[in-house]
Amino acid sequence: MSTYSQYGAYKKPRWAPPAWLFGPVWTLLYALISLSYGYVAYLYLTQQLPLVIVFPFVLNLLFNIAFTTIQFRFRNFVLAAVDIILVLATLAWALVAVYPYAPWVVYLNLPYFAWVSFATVLQLTVTYLNAKR
């Protein structure tokens, strides 16, 4: 079953976006993430940024990548909810940490932060609505 059909089968709130919207949104966000996270990696590799600043960016990518597998392959709503909270938390941590070094990285990631904030509320709602009682 595809992720689109699985998403369509979930109980969702009325305000949930349609499945087709996720592809274009994530395409744009991954372009912004690639540009900004690549710059953070460049700063680290050229010794302009300490590893402690890069660490939350790495964690954020790992949690972000894990989400789709957890939600759609393993179909584990609770673990997906925990994961999306970790995506949001590591993103906030990363942006606060990098701001003194590269404020534009923060500004470029504001759409990502807004979407993940929305996605966190959506995932928590979907988890609640689909929990086996």
Q: What are phi and psi of 19, to 5 degrees?
A: -60, -35
pLDDT in tens, 14-58: 999 999 999 999 999 999 999 999 999 999 999 999 999 999 999
Distance CA 38, CA 124 (A): 30
d(C-alpha 125, C-alpha 93), whole Å? 24
What's the whole-model pTM score? 0.95
DSSP letter, residue 70 = I
- Please determine, for residue 97, whether its predicted confidence score (pLDDT) is greater than 80: yes
Residue 132 has pLDDT above 80, yes or no: no
Contact by Cβ (8 Å): 3, 120: no
List helix spans (H) across 46-109: 51-68, 77-98, 103-108
CA distance 18 to 7: 9
pLDDT at residue 133, rounded to an integer: 63
**pLDDT at 50 (0 to 100):** 98
**Closest by Cα among 113, 110, 94 to 37:** 94
* pLDDT tens digits, 46-92: 999 999 999 999 999 999 999 999 999 999 999 999 999 999 999 99
